[in-house]
Amino acid sequence: MKFSSIFLMLFIFIFSANAWEKRDLLQKEAEIETLKSCLIPNQKWVEYPAYSDRKSWDALLGDNKTEIIKLGEKMLDYQWRVVKATDYLEFQRSGSRNIMQEPFDSNNRALYCLVLAELAEGNGRFMDQIANGVWQACELTSWALSAHLSKMQKEKTSLPSDKEHIIDLSAGEMGSLLSWTYYFLKDEIDKVQPLISERLRKNVQERIMDPYMNCDNFWWQAFNATPTTSVNNWNPWCNFNVLTCFLLLEENPDVLAAAVHRTMISVDKFINYNHMDGGCEEGPSYWGHAAGKMYEYLQLLNTATAAKVSIFDEPIIKNMGEYIALSYIGNGWVANFADASAKGGGESGLIYRYGKAVGSMEMQQFGAYLFERDGKKYPHSYGYSFVRIIKDLKFNEELTKVKPAVSRVASVWYPETEFCYMRNLSGFFMATKGGYNAESHNHNDMGSFSLYLDETPMFIDAGVGTYTRQTFSDERYSIWTMQSNYHNLPMINGVAQVNGAKYRSRNVKFDSAKSLFSLDLAGAYPVEADVEKWQRSYKLQSEGGLVLRDEFKLNKAIKPNQLNFLTWAIPDVSVLGIVSLEKEGVKLKLRYDTAQFEPSVEVITLSDKQLSYVWGDKIYRLTLTAKKMQLSGNYKITISKN
């Protein structure tokens, strides 16, 4: 096992709560006039075979051709579903997103499978159903989701208005899928009825291309972003799909150059917002549609300009990619914070291609590891992302020749994002963070940690449940998964952390030689906590477990302090001073001072499938309540195998 330390000592630019920096890397690569000369015209940049080139499609799809056709055959009798007005309104009424999204996604998935099957087979058998799918999509008032419409359109309702077109994640994905459908199958659709392809083209123009060029108030575009503006995964995700639509459909070179440049300005805002250290504050679950979508955008731009516009040699782009490989713990588990799930690891082909573009062997080998782990199967589970599937099929053979490997470095430190990972030779892995409580998809988790032994989660971050209206509203922090008292953090004077950019870490330090991370938590708590200092440290011993220390100073002692721990295993507190945990054959003991604390255990029943999929039907909260109220003091907790 390789044990070395990755210590990312990078230039730190801090403005307010963010490490925003006006890099504008894409705009420095090309102005509009430059783009006019380097954009490849007439879709000749497309790397995939024409529909009629059967031999090339057979070579590209290989052994996957049969399965792709079978998936399409299942949709030959598909009954296209109506997305009712009340389905949209359900978001307002009950907060449910899925009532609308389930039939909508089902239709889109069917169309996607049919298009792939027709490209694979090439004899027109799927064209009537493709025509039906295109037609039903064009019949919809909007391609945006009810949850997004209620906030983005002028009519503040989750029912789509015909007075404006909203570009959200779903609308962009639909525009991209229909643009590829038009590019490959226009002539075949015209054999069914030319009005269908005509309407498809008109719809993408009116719903995606025109609004993008004429509006600057979609929040994800971030055209008016300041150093304190959060720019999250929506930005590269939407811009990638918009760029796809323009490159496939726009014939006017002047309009095309202007549109491409506009997407470059927007994506620059995302890169400017991200930290130079490359940490993804949204977590591993979001990486594929944050840094991963940024890569796909950059790769598409690179391809369409014959590599004249490329920033793959920029260190920040490589750092943002390698985050996903370095966040992998093992056995399908990842170091999660905020809304990210502890289960995942990423998509093998995407990670491999990104790694190849930036020259990261770490990413390429990790992609090969995931590919081998998942049985080198046909990757048909990416929603309806045409590009990821076809790219994967194109690179699968190449990927099989790469030696699989998983990072096992002793420590990883992101000095701007303030994420810290540590491993030792005893099989422990811990992840902890500083940061602030206004990060994208934020939980009030500043200073929390997760601890794994032998790739088994023992002290955990629960993640997030199914998204509802409440999740992204002013009620967000009434949800227990968002609260610091359901993370591995203290309640100070009976008070939990609160959300907001000003609630952030202080005095953050990481010593890789000592495997020691420390920070002052006090800045994450409101004035009601009456805390002057709460210095917490995590030391992962070289051949032992974890030592957690808290040194605190309060202005007032109002209520007993509590130390909370979220665990996957049920804590056994029957022996004073020792809490025993056992899960899947892995055993740990947490030791505390009996003179200081009284233990208690709460069972947390997980009725939400988003959580129970990861953890089963229960997790547990261990609480150590201080027996004495005091203005200052020290706590020490040790977690070890014995």
In terms of domains, do 96 and 76 share one? yes
In terms of domains, do 338 and 442 share one? no
Residue 15 lies in a domain: no
In terms of domains, do 458 and 535 share one? yes
SS (H, E, C) 531-545: EEEEEEEEEECCCCC
Last-in-domain residue among 386, 416, 446 = 416
In terms of domains, do 325 and 440 share one? no
Provide the token pair at 154.
Answer: 């002028």
In terms of domains, do 234 and 318 share one? no
Residue 240 lies in a domain: yes
Residue 11: pLDDT above 90? no
User: How far is 207 from 134, CA to CA, in rounded Å?
Assistant: 14
Output the pLDDT for position 17: 43
Last-in-domain residue among 393, 416, 439 = 416
Closest CA to 178 of 238, 249, 84: 249
Residue 571 lies in a domain: yes
pTM (predicted TM-score): 0.94
Residue 38 lies in a domain: no
Residue 156 lies in a domain: yes
Q: With bands split at pLDDT 50, 70 and 90, how would you rate the model's confidence at 380?
A: low
* Amino acid making up residue 396: N
Residue 271: pLDDT above 90? yes
The pLDDT tens digits for 465-524 are 999 999 999 999 999 999 999 999 999 999 999 999 999 999 999 999 999 999 999 999
Q: What are phi and psi of 70, to 5 degrees?
A: -60, -40
In terms of domains, do 481 and 616 share one? yes
**How many Å is the maximal CA-CA distance in the chain?**
83
The pLDDT tens digits for 183-197 are 999 999 999 999 999
Residue position matching structure tokens 């840094």: 291
- Please give the average per-residue pLDDT across 223-230, as a whole number: 91
* Amino acid making up residue 203: N
Closest CA to 348 of 312, 308, 398: 398
In terms of domains, do 270 and 205 share one? yes
Last-in-domain residue among 416, 435, 460 = 416
First vs last Cα of the chain: how many Å apart? Answer: 24
In terms of domains, do 373 and 467 share one? no
Q: DSSP code of 470?
A: G
Count how many domains the chain has: 3
Residue 404: count other Cβ atoms within 10 Å of its Cβ.
17
- Show the domain range for 350: 284-416
Residue 205 lies in a domain: yes
In terms of domains, do 248 and 292 share one? no
CATH code where residue 543 lies: 2.70.98.70
Residue 485 lies in a domain: yes
The mean of the pLDDT values for the chain is 94
Output the pLDDT for position 345: 77
Distance of CA 583 to the CA centre of its chain: 28
In terms of domains, do 269 and 311 share one? no
- Please give the average per-residue pLDDT across 602-610, as a whole number: 97
- Please give the average per-residue pLDDT across 534-546, as a whole number: 96
Closest CA to 109 of 89, 129, 88: 129
Provide the token pair at 488.
Answer: 């591995």
In terms of domains, do 172 and 119 share one? yes
In terms of domains, do 327 and 350 share one? yes
* Amino acid making up residue 476: R
Output the pLDDT for position 10: 32
Residue 9 lies in a domain: no
